Amino acid sequence: MDVNSINSNISTLNSSSSLGLERISSSKSVNKIDKDGTNLYISDYNKKRDELSLNVQSLNEGIAISKIAQDSISKQQTYLTNIQTKLENNDSYENKNDLKQSINEDLKSFNQIAYSTKFKSENLLATDYYDEKTTIDINTKNSNFSIEKPNTPSYANDIFELSNNSDLNNQEALQGLSSKVQNSSDQLQNSYNDFSEFGNNLKNSAKDTIEEQVNLYNENKMNKDRNFGQDSSDFTKTNVSSNMGYLAASQANIVQEQSVRLLS
């Protein structure tokens, strides 16, 4: 084999190798741009996912608060019903002081429920002069929910004062106390209804947020599937270009070995 021909072949192979390397470099640049775009998408996805998770957590806490408050109010209503029944059957008490004592026991239990109804150490049904916060607030990225705390111990205190300052042997006094108990029961029912509405609003918002989470997950899954095909194609192209370079280098080495043998 002519030495000039060998050198020409080596030059051609070297040129092909350089072209292959240039293509690899170009491919890497494109891949870098795609990678940057993917990283940006992942960052946005993670941020949105975390935001929605926090929203659901806050809404779930609000729903729990609503349920706890409603359950406690239902128990308080039981004691007011007991008092009303005792007033209606006051004739069974020869000594009206016994009636007052019995009413006071119900009011004591009523207040125990009020002060023990808490969420994360926060009173839900009781407030006092020193409380800086008289509302229950649930805040998310897009919405804010708020409800006024009912100060239910004040109902019991009003009934207690009226009962102990009244002559329950007097029918008019009995009627006045009964009206007071009924009024307190109505106010308590309004608070129950307010918590019910509060909870329903939170549930609807939580439902929408969870639906948004599902849509975000499905969109991310579709993007992953779509990117997998593109990544596979890019990976194949890169390997082909790399192998072209390796092949050219191998051929050059073979020709050089042949040249040495011919000249030796």
pLDDT tens digits, one per residue of 45-104 = 778 888 888 889 999 999 999 999 999 999 999 999 999 999 999 999 999 999 999 999
- The total number of structural domains in the chain stands at 1
**Angstrom distance (rounded) from CA 172 to CA 175:** 5
Structural domain for 148, as ranges? 5-253
> Is 263 within the bounds of a domain?
no
Q: To 5 degrees, how large is the angle CA 61–CA 64–CA 65?
A: 90
Torsion of CA 183, 187, 190, 191, to 10 degrees: -160
In a 13 Å sphere around the CA of 6, the CA atoms on its Cβ side amount to 15
**Angstrom distance (rounded) from CA 99 to CA 90:** 7
For residues 35 and 42, the answer to whether their CB atoms sit within 8 Å is no
> Is 191 within the bounds of a domain?
yes
> Is 259 within the bounds of a domain?
no
As given in the structure block, the two tokens for residue 122 are 């926060």
Q: What is the CATH number of the domain that holds 34?
A: 1.20.1330.10
Note the pLDDT tens digit of each residue in 133-162.
899 999 998 889 999 999 999 999 999 999
pTM: 0.70
> Is 262 within the bounds of a domain?
no
Q: What is the pLDDT of residue 89?
A: 95
Assign 5 a pLDDT band (cuts: 50, 70, 90): low
Q: What is the pLDDT of residue 48?
A: 80
> Is 264 within the bounds of a domain?
no
pLDDT over 90 (residue 43): no
- Determine which of 156-160, 218-222, 247-251 has the lowest per-residue pLDDT on average: 247-251
Q: What is the pLDDT of residue 240?
A: 46
> Is 104 within the bounds of a domain?
yes
> Is 134 within the bounds of a domain?
yes
Q: 236-247 as b/e, with b when 16 or more CB fall inside 10 Å?
A: eebeebeebbee
